[in-house]
Amino acid sequence: MRPEESHRIHHHVRLPDGRDIEVVYLEQGLRGADGAPQPSGLALHVCFHCNSELVHPLDWTDEGGGHWRLLLRCPECEATREGVFAKEEIELMEEELDRGIGSLLSDLRRMTHTNMCEEIEFFVRALEADVIVPSDFGR
Ligand SMILES: [Zn+2]
């Protein structure tokens, strides 16, 4: 392997239409403004194809040295991405996924709450308009 090859990170990705492509990241392009290494460029939980933040691992293998080979899947566009990632990156993804699921749940709670409020309002308006009379309750 030529020296510059070792600074490249190869990821196999599968597009929703079934095409397989190989994405090659150059390590020098993967450093943040502060010079900190950013091993794969794109956060693991972000879909390279549709930018969904719900990408999750389907399969993983221990590659040794704190690295794992992950098969990632996007639930929104079905794209998959395979590559070897550092443990730190994977932990970051887990945190992001936890946060993503947490915000989904709170969205759901908020929506449920809004629906209930609307139903109660509707009920109150119906009562005020005498649309609902006691006989509606079987009396
Ligand atoms: Zn996607």
pLDDT digits (tens, 9 = 90+) for 90-124: 888 888 888 877 777 777 777 777 777 777 777 77
Examine the pLDDT at 51 and tell me if it is beyond 60.
Answer: yes
Separation of CA 124 and ligand 1 centre (Å): 44
In this prediction, residue 19 has a pLDDT band, given cuts at 50, 70 and 90, of: confident
Token pair listed for 26:
């150059």
Contacts of 57 (CB under 8 A, 6+ apart): 70, 71, 72, 73, 90, 93
> Is residue 76 within 8 Å of residue 100, measured between CB atoms?
no
Cα distance between residue 42 and residue 55, in whole Å: 12
Separation of CA 14 and ligand 1 centre (Å): 11
Average pLDDT of the residues in 22-47: 60
Average pLDDT of the residues in 28-39: 46
Name the nearest CA neighbour of 50 among 89, 78, 69. Answer: 78
Separation of CA 132 and ligand 1 centre (Å): 48
pTM higher than the cut 0.75: no
